[in-house]
């Protein structure tokens, strides 16, 4: 894989990752006349839950559902400049033009109204966009295993690079797919959030892992993985180094965890064989997901990685995919119990979900 670092017209960094052997040099210049990014994010900590909230009012003007011929993630065409100056690319990463978090956000740590009750600080971090292919009409599930392996290498590269930034505590990589999820750009892409704090979900998982290790001397996800592989009833796909299964307490109508058999803290620690095997297993999961209802499944897929500075020994890297689609034409809405109390009610059992996904492999082949 060849990596080339360039800059866009407003100074943002863009990185080309090429796996095509004869890919041309990446020398195209961004000719657009666009102003520098002016992010004004801040973070505030909820005094009742202790959770940080990101406030990014400048994102109200971000690009919203443009027509395909004006997609900002497609390669640049004559008369139609985009976020990617090249006429083609393999995988590309660039700083988000409308970031929730950004480096250099002005301000100092304080409290709201100076009352000492609600901590507030500049929303410093970094947000990046990852385009998996230059083909606007493809999906992640239609990529080749070689391209998925390239994407894994890119994710690892960005995890390592963003973890060196002073204001970053945790790196989260994710893909949103489908309008039902809230996607406003249909080009196959993901995002990376480099947070200035450890996320609430991660904090909860680390606390659980610490308590379990204190009682049993082992990692909770390791024991869950062993139990799932032994039972087999919720397994969706498996390989030499990874197993994909519906979690035994699934919250969503479609939910799959893809877990490596070896405990690693983040993507940078995966070896070549594990990265190759992930590509095969995950593509199998996505084929089943798209075969489930005979239509492209809207989903969120995100990587759970260790924080940068602490509790890495309590972390076990894994990917989780979930969908809000509970039938071919019905959505799972987050109503009072879920939104108000974070108590989830699922309309299907994990065993039913896994069975449907296994059966979908035949339908999608």
Q: State the Cα–Cα distance between residues 161 and 171, nearest whole angstrom.
A: 10
Of the residues 187, 189, 241, 318, which is catalytic? Answer: 189
Q: Say whether both 159 and 30 belong to one domain.
A: yes
- Average pLDDT of span 19-47: 94
DSSP state of 105: -
pLDDT at position 365 is: 45
Q: What is the pTM of this model?
A: 0.95
User: DSSP per residue over 299-363, as a string?
Assistant: EEEEEE---SSS-GGG---EEEEEESEEETTEE----IIIIIH-----SS-HHHHHHHHHHHHHH
pLDDT at position 364 is: 47
pLDDT at position 60 is: 73
Boundary (domain end) residue, out of 197, 219, 247: 197
Q: Which residue has the tokens 């800059």?
A: 7
Burial class of residue 21 (count of CB atoms within 10 Å of its CB; 0-12, 13-18, 19+): exposed
pLDDT at position 224 is: 98
pLDDT at position 64 is: 65
Q: Say whether both 248 and 336 belong to one domain.
A: yes
pLDDT tens for residues 343-362?
Answer: 999 999 999 999 999 999 75
Boundary (domain end) residue, out of 197, 212, 245: 197
Q: Say whether both 182 and 164 belong to one domain.
A: yes
Question: b vs e for 203-234, b when ≥16 Cβ sit within 10 Å of the residue's Cβ?
Answer: bebbeebeebeeeeeebbbbebbeebeeeeeb
Report the percentage of the chain scoring pLDDT > 90: 91
Tell me which of 104 and 225 has the higher pLDDT: 225
pLDDT at position 232 is: 98
CATH number of the domain enclosing 311? 3.30.428.10
- Average pLDDT of span 113-129: 96
Q: Say whether both 143 and 219 belong to one domain.
A: no
Model confidence at 2: pLDDT above 80: yes
Judge contact between 193 and 125, C-beta under 8 A.
Answer: yes
Confidence at 3, pLDDT banded by 50, 70, 90: very high
Question: b vs e for 64-75, b when ≥16 Cβ sit within 10 Å of the residue's Cβ?
Answer: eeeeeeebbbbb
Rounded mean pLDDT of the chain? 95
Model confidence at 363: pLDDT above 60: no
pLDDT tens for residues 261-292?
Answer: 999 999 999 999 999 999 999 999 999 999 99
Report the number of distinct structural domains present in the chain: 2
Q: What pairs with residue 302 in β-bridges?
A: 174, 320
pLDDT at position 182 is: 86
Confidence at 169, pLDDT banded by 50, 70, 90: very high
Q: Say whether both 155 and 217 belong to one domain.
A: no
Q: Say whether both 230 and 331 belong to one domain.
A: yes
Q: Say whether both 40 and 175 belong to one domain.
A: yes
pLDDT at position 180 is: 92
Q: Say whether both 80 and 147 belong to one domain.
A: yes
pLDDT at position 362 is: 57
Model confidence at 101: pLDDT above 80: yes
Range of the domain at 218: 201-364
Q: Say whether both 167 and 251 belong to one domain.
A: no
Q: Say whether both 216 and 338 belong to one domain.
A: yes
pLDDT tens for residues 73-94?
Answer: 999 999 999 999 999 999 999 9
Q: Say whether both 106 and 255 belong to one domain.
A: no
**CA dihedral sign of residues 78, 79, 80, 82:** positive
Boundary (domain end) residue, out of 146, 176, 197: 197
Q: Say whether both 332 and 349 belong to one domain.
A: yes
189 is catalytic: yes
């Amino acid at each position: 894989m060849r990596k080339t670092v360039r800059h866009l017209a407003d100074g943002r960094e863009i990185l080309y990752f090429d796996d095509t052997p004869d890919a041309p040099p990446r020398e195209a210049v961004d000719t657009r006349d666009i102003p520098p990014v002016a992010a004004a994010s801040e973070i505030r900590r909820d005094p009742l839950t202790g959770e940080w909230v990101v406030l990014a009012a400048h994102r109200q003007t971000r690009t919203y559902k443009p027509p395909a011929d004006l997609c900002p993630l497609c390669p640049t065409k004559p008369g139609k400049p985009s976020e990617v100056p090249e006429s083609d690319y393999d995988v590309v990463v660039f700083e988000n033009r409308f970031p929730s978090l950004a480096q250099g956000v002005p301000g100092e740590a304080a409290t709201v109204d100076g009352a000492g009750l609600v901590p507030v600080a500049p929303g410093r971090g970094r947000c990046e966009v990852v385009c998996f292919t230059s083909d606007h009409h493809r999906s992640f599930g239609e990529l080749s295993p070689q391209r998925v392996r390239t994407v894994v290498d890119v994710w690892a590269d960005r995890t390592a690079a963003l973890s060196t930034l002073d204001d970053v505590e945790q790196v989260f990589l994710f893909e949103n797919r489908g309008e039902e999820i809230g996607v406003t750009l249909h080009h196959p892409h993901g995002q990376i959030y480099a947070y200035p704090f450890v996320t609430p979900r991660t904090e909860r998982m680390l606390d659980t892992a610490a308590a379990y290790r204190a009682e049993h001397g082992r990692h909770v996800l390791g024991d869950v993985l062993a139990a799932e592989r032994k039972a087999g009833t919720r397994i969706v796909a498996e390989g030499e180094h990874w197993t994909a299964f519906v979690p035994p307490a699934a919250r969503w109508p479609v939910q799959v965890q893809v877990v490596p058999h070896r405990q690693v803290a983040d993507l940078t620690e995966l070896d070549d064989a594990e990265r190759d095997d992930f590509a095969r297993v995950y593509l199998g999961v996505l084929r089943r997901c798209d075969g489930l209802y005979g239509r492209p499944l809207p989903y969120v897929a995100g990587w759970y990685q260790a924080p940068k500075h602490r509790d890495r020994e309590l972390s076990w890297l894994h990917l989780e995919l979930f969908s809000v689609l509970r039938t071919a034409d019905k959505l799972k809405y987050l109503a009072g119990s879920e939104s108000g109390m974070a108590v989830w009610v699922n309309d299907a059992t994990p065993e039913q979900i896994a069975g449907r996904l296994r059966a979908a492999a035949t339908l999608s082949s």
